[in-house]
Amino acid sequence: MDHFFSRRSFIKKSVMAGGAVALANSSFANVMMAKPNERVNLAAVGIGNRAAEILMEFHKTGLCNIVALCDVDMGAKHTEAILKQFPDVPRFQDFRQMFDKMGNQIEAVSVGVPDFSHFPITMMALELGKHVYVEKPMARTFLEVELMMQKAKKYPKLATQMGNQGHSEANYFQFKAWKEAGIIKDVTQVVGHMNMPRRWHGWDVNMKNFPAPEKLPETLDWEIWQMQTLGHNYNKDFVNGQWRCWYDFGMGALGDWGAHILDAAHEFLDLGLPTRLEAIRLDGHNSFFFPMSSTLKFSFPKRKKMPALDIMWYDGLDNLPPIPAGYGISGLDPNIPPPSTGKLEPAKLNPGKIIYGKDLTFKGGSHGSTLTIIPEDKAKDMASRLPEVPASPSNHFANFLKACKGQEKTRSSFEIAGPLSQVFCLGVIAQRLNTKFDFDPVKKEIVNDKFANALLVGPPPKKGWEQYYVV
């Protein structure tokens, strides 16, 4: 029990210290605002796999200079393309050394690393006065997201953006316009579904231990890869996207896809944090990695004139949501190959959502995909009453860089993306413990399960990493 109470005291000290510091010192002198007519000096932490795509998206805007590259596996095969693209840019394996040597040349940072390692890099960058773009979800634990929000609030001149890029595309602007026009109203249920194969499908759910240690690649700094987490031995099934599978490192299908599916509903329906979580169905539940399929229920209370609402989440190949009459074919997302037949096949339902209002039902995909009113005859009736939807003035990457220059406001700032990420953190706790619990959104505590409540914090950080938990 001592371990449990040490975690409790750790969260209390962290949050209390953060609150006190934030109130005492809410301005920051060394924010390097890029001038409106100049490019933003951007450092990239993470340069392989998805991080490489992010970096090229930033580069394509023409709004930034890439001034530093950092990766714990610098020189590995998946980093080669970026190293060839930017041969003269300084390289680092440790983000702390990068900031130490080049801090005064860096204005903004792109963080494209595993979920558990977003936190220390982001906290250090904000403390040093750098604007931060961080992949979704913001962090792996509820406390880490909370501290990142507090840190961003302490430095209001810094731009923050979470990388759910659909939040700058058609889906965002349509949802906003339809909500404001009263087309989307009195919503009582949002169903999110992600039924595509995941990396852990096919793994042994009777696993008794983490996989055996393997020989470390020469290019990889394993100590820094682990960051603040407590010791694991290297295994190829921990790195290069495989980290998504494990409770210790990733957020499963919910953390990976939730921000691409539920983001607009969460923001424009003012959902905030839920009051109850329930793991309704978990197939292949085990102590190490995510279930083969999950059905989760998030209950949100009434908000102003909006009724109480449930989010239902379905993932897994064999775990489709109920499909309403008149649904038609699966809404195709431009990022996802269409079903081979073009007809709705259960195993091929594309990731997306179904939104149930009092008078209207909507279906939509993920990322930037727009909503459609179903069934079709209802859509035809409504066609003349739909408001005009404005085009996006900037994609997600340009939006961030323009915010660094003071020209726009980020659309997925930590203030907006933080509570959304915390919803996923709560969902993962329900998955991990295969349980249901009540949550107090004011005190930010799980009220009837001390083990679940301890997971809001997770284990204390490894020695030497405690300073990132101070706001």
Per-residue pLDDT tens over the stretch 85-122:
999 999 999 999 999 999 999 999 999 999 999 999 99
Average pLDDT of every residue of the chain: 91
Residue 420: count of CB within 10 angstroms of its CB: 26
Domains of the chain with CATH codes: 20-165+396-423 (3.40.50.720)
In 102-247, DSSP assigns E strands to 108-111, 131-134, 160-162, 189-194
Q: Which residues contact 91 (CB under 8 A, 6 or more apart)?
A: 68, 69, 70, 71, 74, 83
**pLDDT tens digits along 197-232:** 999 999 999 999 999 999 999 999 999 999 999 889
The whole model's pTM is what? Answer: 0.92
**pLDDT tens digits along 273-332:** 999 999 999 999 999 999 999 999 999 999 999 999 999 999 999 899 999 988 987 644
3-state SS assignment for residue 372? strand
CA–CA gap between residue 298 and residue 278 (Å, rounded): 7
pLDDT at 390 over 90: yes
Element (H, E) at 310: strand 309-315
pLDDT at 344 over 50: no
Range with the poorest average pLDDT among 25-39, 126-140, 345-359, 430-444: 25-39
pLDDT at 400 over 60: yes
Share of the chain above pLDDT 70, in %: 89
Q: List the structure tokens of 389.
A: 């939807």
Closest CA to 4 of 456, 429, 427, 471: 456
Element (H, E) at 361: strand 361-364
Structural contact between residues 323 and 193, judged by C-beta atoms closer than 8 angstroms: no
Cα-flanking dihedrals φ and ψ of residue 238, to 5°? -105, -20
CA–CA gap between residue 74 and residue 221 (Å, rounded): 9
Q: Which residues lie across from 439 on neighbouring strands?
A: 446
**pLDDT tens digits along 405-435:** 999 999 999 999 999 999 999 999 999 999 9
Residue 320: count of CB within 10 angstroms of its CB: 14
